[in-house]
Amino acid sequence: METNASTASTTSLESVTIEVADLEAARRFYAAFGVDRHIRLRESEADSTGFRGFTLALTVSGPATVDAFLGAAVDAGATVLKPAAKSLWGYGGVVQAPDGTICKVATSAKKDSGPATREIDEVVLLLGVEDVKASKQYYVGRGLTVARSFGGKYAEFAADDASPVKLALYKRRGLAKDLGVPTDGTGSHRVVLGSTAGAFTDPDGFAWEAATRLDTASPRESAAS
């Protein structure tokens, strides 16, 4: 594993905006799921088929909390893609929101040390890319700082205290396999990343825009709450 000793980043992921067809329905879902403080929503009819190439990955304290989050998602209309189960790395499961976004909830703990909570330890936006090393270097060139890197398999970038979500890269095919979906997909990724470095599009087609305050956003965009 490669680790970057510096955690300072000249560029950071300031916001994650998920594009949805039904803004009000999506707001209700993400509030019920418990991630409304971490993401924004924007109304969009952009074409998108198959795997959109990303997932929201939630890390929580224990298996009971994993089950609680996944249960809340299903109760709010999500579809189970991978039921919660133990693995080599811990315990987790995968669901797909009514708008099509795939969410993974996991813990490194295999046994509970307390009751289920509604607390999220970390939210990571995991982008599936064709070449992790090339994409990592692209983002380093844009001013992001690598926090952790596992060769050509995975890279995670440092986040500042104001960032609600961490950014990480994973091989697209491997990510699809981990989520339990076919790797093929076309059209919009239906996610827009806000940065301190302005607008650009990465080599895998993920769009970035200049981060804005919610109180200056369009009426077609809002927090998920």
Give the angle subtended at the CA of 67 by the CAs of 185 and 225, to the nearest 5°.
70
Sign of CA dihedral 2, 130, 18, 202: positive
Question: What average pLDDT does range 202-216 have in this prediction?
Answer: 82
Instruction: Please say whether the beta carbons of 65 and 115 come within 8 A.
Output: no
Q: Which of the four pLDDT bands, split at 50, 70 and 90, describes residue 222?
A: low
Which is more confident, 12 or 200?
200
DSSP secondary structure of 184-200: -EEE---EEEEETT--E
Q: Which of the four pLDDT bands, split at 50, 70 and 90, describes residue 111?
A: very high
pLDDT at 2: 52
Question: What average pLDDT does range 197-224 have in this prediction?
Answer: 77
Q: Each residue of 133-166: pLDDT tens digit?
A: 999 999 999 999 999 999 899 999 998 877 889 9
Q: Which of the four pLDDT bands, split at 50, 70 and 90, describes residue 10?
A: low
Sign of CA dihedral 128, 132, 135, 136: positive
Q: Each residue of 43-98: pLDDT tens digit?
A: 999 999 999 999 999 999 999 999 999 999 999 999 999 999 999 999 999 999 99
Q: Which residues contact 200 (CB under 8 A, 6 or more apart)?
A: 142, 208
Q: Which of the four pLDDT bands, split at 50, 70 and 90, describes residue 225?
A: low
Both structure tokens of 114: 């307390």
The C-alpha atoms of residue 142 and residue 139 are separated, in whole angstroms, by 5
The C-alpha atoms of residue 127 and residue 54 are separated, in whole angstroms, by 5
User: Residue 70 gets which letter from DSSP?
Assistant: H
How many CB atoms sit inside 10 A of residue 167's CB?
Answer: 24
The model carries a pTM of 0.90
Helix (H, G, I), strand (E, B) or coil at 22: coil
For the chain, what is the mean pLDDT?
91
